[in-house]
Amino acid sequence: MTLLQVMADSDREQVLLRTTDVATIAAELAPHGVVLEQWDTVPLARDAGQDEVLAAYRSDVDKVSAEGGYKLVDVARIVPDDNNPEWPAIAKGAREKFLNEHTHDEDEVRFFVEGRGCFYLHFGDKVYAVVCEAGDLMSVPAGTTHWFDMGQRPEFCAIRFFQEEDGWVAGFTGDGIATRMPTLDELLVSA
């Protein structure tokens, strides 16, 4: 379920809005230049590689790339592997890489092919937690302070759009706000 929860940045318990209505979510995000769209999903094999994923969404990928000037497109996939004793460390490392508030010099555009993740957008004195799932396209403008949580047991496949190879390098703010907000898993429990 796509979900938006808006909270005061000083008090995670002060929930100002919580909704699963996609039109309401898109309308709440639009004044900040954030775009949320929903695409039809295409059934793919669980182990579909980058070429298969991009081929399945070629027309949508080409449209977004042309409209946004995105020159590079790839696919990020993380799937739990309980047979790999290294899996918990791999999952923890992947998750922690994105859990601190940061900005980018270019837009962060992601289409969720499978699974889910949560973008936390920090605007003024509010945090907008946006849980995206399969079928959601999220575009966060360059310079937006945010972080991303893929949950304790990450599982997703996302198409990522880039304008430049180094444009997605994170500039961390040093603010520990992410540790004071509910995690993706906590948001889903209260759903």
Kind of pairing, strands 171-172 and 156-162?
unpaired
Matching residue, tokens 């699963």: 20
DSSP for 133-175, please give it.
ETTEEEEE-TT--EEEE--SS--EEEEEEESSTTTT--EE---
122 is in an annotated binding site: no
146 is in an annotated binding site: yes
Cα–Cα distance list, 154 to 5, 11, 94, 174, 183 (Å): 20, 26, 9, 24, 12
Whether residue 180 contacts residue 129, with contact meaning beta carbons closer than 8 Å, is answered with no
What spatial distance separates the first Cα and last Cα of the chain, rounded to whole Å? 9
Per-residue H/E/C for 98-127: CCCCEECCCCEEEEEEEEEEEEEEEECCEE
102 is in an annotated binding site: yes
32 is in an annotated binding site: no
Cα–Cα distance list, 103 to 19, 91, 154, 167, 173 (Å): 26, 22, 22, 10, 8
Binding site listing: 102, 104, 108, 146
Binding site listing for Fe(2+): 102, 104, 108, 146
Binding site listing for Ni(2+): 102, 104, 108, 146
